[in-house]
A and B are shown apart, each in its own frame.
Chain A
């Protein structure tokens, strides 16, 4: 049934996935993802709130593993980051083809680091801090989640807005910054 629907809508240049999640304050929130020929639309199934991104505002799109599923990591030209989980590995080809033919954007595979190290490089892309370990990202911090940032000697502390809907909520992260980078 669902497959039929998808293949039908695909011909109309629309891709729709009903069971998708969006990363919001550290939680994956359920909703429906609709890709039209010009816009990415996500509808939060609990609040009905819409997240929209028009295709001209897409900067970089990568395909990645999430917790128990696969999905998209979309950097907007505004610097914002949209992350959609709940896709399957087998969805990749169709999604990539859709992005390429409708938006003129290549979906690039991105492996996340599983090394288990706590040292790497902090990189900024728009309003996102990505911690890279040996060139692969280990995690992303969308900086809108930061409630306070303080610096000390060779140190940066990030405090985050709390999310009581999350079973465990990340409160604070502290980084050691080498002297060479402080110069």
Chain B
């Protein structure tokens, strides 16, 4: 049998700038979930940065006092048991492991919704895309076997 462990092909979010969605949330440097390309776009110091859903291990949300927090955990070599070391395309790279965002829960006068609404929506949509992606991946694996 084959002894070399199979390295899964790395999913790519966008092949060119023209594929990037042009949404208001992105321009306002909020979090945007692109259902079509299965990608979440996170604001990092002025830049909207795409992360393919396959890089995301899990997410969590919490409300503490006036703030809502959204934490995104990414797959990385080392601690994970869910993904074997060999399945990383580039285990010697530096990996972004985790990002945490914070938003205020209260509305300013004139605001339609509190800033934290963006984190709530992102949480719900990321879960949705993740579920869709995992289901499809499982189906593909079944076909391969």
Q: Identify the A interface with B (CB < 8 A).
A: 23, 26-28, 65-68, 83, 85, 111-112, 114-122, 131, 138-142, 145, 154-155, 162, 164, 166-178, 180-181
B94 touches A28 (CB 8 A): no
Give the 6 A-B CB pairs with smallest separation, nearest first: A116-B13, A116-B52, A68-B27, A23-B46, A114-B14, A139-B44
A-B contact pairs, 17 of them (CB 8 A): A67-B43, A116-B39, A117-B10, A118-B95, A118-B96, A154-B78, A167-B28, A167-B118, A168-B70, A168-B103, A168-B115, A173-B99, A174-B97, A174-B99, A175-B96, A176-B77, A178-B92
Supposing A116-B50, A176-B95 touch, asked if A171 and B13 sit within 8 A by C-beta, the answer is: no
Q: Is B125 an interface residue (CB 8 A)?
A: no
B26 touches A115 (CB 8 A): no
Within 8 A of A (CB), among B5-43: 10-17, 19-20, 22, 26-31, 39, 43
Q: Per a CB cutoff under 8 Å, which of B14, B51, B89, B103 touches A169?
A: B103
- The complex places the Cα of A122 from the Cα of B14 at a distance, in Å, of 21
- The complex places the Cα of A114 from the Cα of B41 at a distance, in Å, of 10
B87: chain A residues at CB < 8 Å are none
- The complex places the Cα of A169 from the Cα of B29 at a distance, in Å, of 9
Name the CB-closest residue of B to A69. Answer: B27
A66 touches B46 (CB 8 A): yes
A118 touches B11 (CB 8 A): no
* Shortest CB distance A71–B (Å): 9
Q: Identify the B interface with A (CB < 8 A).
A: 10-17, 19-20, 22, 26-31, 39, 43-52, 55, 69-70, 74-78, 88-104, 115, 118-119
- The complex places the Cα of A129 from the Cα of B106 at a distance, in Å, of 33
B76 touches A118 (CB 8 A): yes
B45 touches A170 (CB 8 A): yes
Supposing A26-B43, A68-B22, A139-B45 touch, asked if A168 and B77 sit within 8 A by C-beta, the answer is: no
- The complex places the Cα of A112 from the Cα of B48 at a distance, in Å, of 10
B94 touches A177 (CB 8 A): yes
B16: chain A residues at CB < 8 Å are 114
* Shortest CB distance B136–A (Å): 17
B90: chain A residues at CB < 8 Å are 119
Supposing A114-B50, A116-B55 touch, asked if A26 and B45 sit within 8 A by C-beta, the answer is: yes
4 additional contacts (CB under 8 A) given A26-B29, A138-B47, A168-B43 = A116-B12, A119-B94, A121-B93, A140-B45
A173: chain B residues at CB < 8 Å are 96, 98-100
